[in-house]
Structure 1
Amino acid sequence: MRSPLLSPRWLGIHLVALLVVLVCATGTSWQFVRAFEPDREVITNPVEDLASARPVEDLLEPGAYMHPDSFANQAVEATGRYDTAEQLLVPRVVDGVLGHDVILPLVTADGSAVTVNRGWAEEGQDVPEAPGGEVTVTGWLLPPVGAEGVVPVEVTEGQVERIAASVLVQEWDHPLYEGYVTLPGQDPATDSLVPVPPPEPPTEVEVNWRSLSYTVQWAMFGVSAVVFWIILMRRELAEARSRRERASDGEEQEGQPAVAGS
Structure 2
Amino acid sequence: MRVRFPLLHPRWLGTHLMAVLAALGCLGLGYWQYERAQEPDRSAITNPVEDLARATDIGALLEPGAYMPLDLANEAVRTSGVYDAENQLLSPALSPEGEEGYYVIVPLVTDDGAAVTVNRGWIPLDAAGADGAVPPVPDGEATVSGWLMPPQGEATRGYTAIVSEGQIARISSALLVNEWPYPLYEGYVTLAEQTPAETAGAASQLREIPPPDPPQEITWNIKNLSYAAQWVVFGIAVVVFWISLMRRELDERRAAREGGAGGTASPSAADGPQPSVAGATAD
Could you tell me the TM-score, scaled by structure 1's length? 0.61
What do the CA deviations read for 1:171-202 (whole angstroms, capped 9, x no partner)?
A: 00111011111112677348441011100023
State the Cα RMSD in Å.
Answer: 3.0
Alpha-carbon distance in 2 for matches of 1:156, 1:35: 47
**1:172-187 equivalence runs, <5 A:** 172-184=180-192
Is 1:136–2:162 an aligned residue pair?
Answer: no
* Alignment match, 1:231: none
**Counterpart of 1:163 in 2: which secondary structure?**
coil
Check the 8 A contact 1:82/1:130 in 2, yes or no.
yes
1:115: how far off? Answer: 0.3
Aligned pairs, number: 180
Sort the Cα spacing of 1:121 and 1:212 in 2 relative to 1 into closer, same or farther, 3 A: same
* Alignment match, 1:93: 94
**Counterpart of 1:166 in 2: which secondary structure?**
helix
* Alignment match, 1:62: 64
Alpha-carbon distance in 1 for matches of 2:109, 2:37: 40
What residue ranges of structure 1 are gaps of 5+ in the alignment?
1-32, 217-262
**1:1-262 equivalence runs, <5 A:** 36-37=39-40, 43-68=45-70, 70-94=71-95, 95-122=97-124, 123-124=126-127, 125=130, 126-149=133-156, 151-184=159-192, 188-189=197-198, 191=200, 192=204, 193-202=206-215, 208=220, 212=222
Sort the Cα spacing of 1:134 and 1:104 in 2 relative to 1 into closer, same or farther, 3 A: same
Sort the Cα spacing of 1:57 and 1:186 in 2 relative to 1 into closer, same or farther, 3 A: closer
Alpha-carbon distance in 2 for matches of 1:140, 1:80: 17
Alpha-carbon distance in 2 for matches of 1:131, 1:34: 50
Check the 8 A contact 2:146/2:193 in 1, yes or no.
no
Sort the Cα spacing of 1:129 and 1:184 in 2 relative to 1 into closer, same or farther, 3 A: same
Sort the Cα spacing of 1:118 and 1:34 in 2 relative to 1 into closer, same or farther, 3 A: farther
* 1:92 partner amino acid: A
Sort the Cα spacing of 1:58 and 1:185 in 2 relative to 1 into closer, same or farther, 3 A: closer
Sort the Cα spacing of 1:116 and 1:138 in 2 relative to 1 into closer, same or farther, 3 A: same
Identity, % of aligned positions: 49
* 1:212 partner amino acid: I
Sort the Cα spacing of 1:96 and 1:146 in 2 relative to 1 into closer, same or farther, 3 A: closer
What do the CA deviations read for 1:182-231 (whole angstroms, capped 9, x no partner)?
A: 1126773484410111000236x7674xx627986xxxxxxxxxxxxxxx
* Alignment match, 2:249: none
Which protein has the larger Cα radius of gyration, Structure 1 or Structure 2? Answer: 2
1:119: how far off? Answer: 0.2
Check the 8 A contact 2:144/2:193 in 1, yes or no.
no
* Alignment match, 1:251: none
**Counterpart of 1:114 in 2: which secondary structure?**
strand
1:100: how far off? Answer: 1.0
Check the 8 A contact 1:116/1:181 in 2, yes or no.
yes
1:43: how far off? Answer: 3.2
What do the CA deviations read for 1:221-250 (whole angstroms, capped 9, x no partner)?
A: xxxxxxxxxxxxxxxxxxxxxxxxxxxxxx
Alpha-carbon distance in 2 for matches of 1:196, 1:107: 22
1:60: how far off? Answer: 0.5
Sort the Cα spacing of 1:170 and 1:190 in 2 relative to 1 into closer, same or farther, 3 A: farther
Using the TM superposition, name which of 139-148 and 77-86 deviates more: 139-148
Using the TM superposition, name which of 58-67 and 189-198 deviates more: 189-198
Could you tell me the TM-score, scaled by structure 2's length? 0.56
Sort the Cα spacing of 1:201 and 1:50 in 2 relative to 1 into closer, same or farther, 3 A: same
What residue ranges of structure 2 are gaps of 5+ in the alignment?
1-35, 227-283
Alpha-carbon distance in 1 for matches of 2:78, 2:37: 29
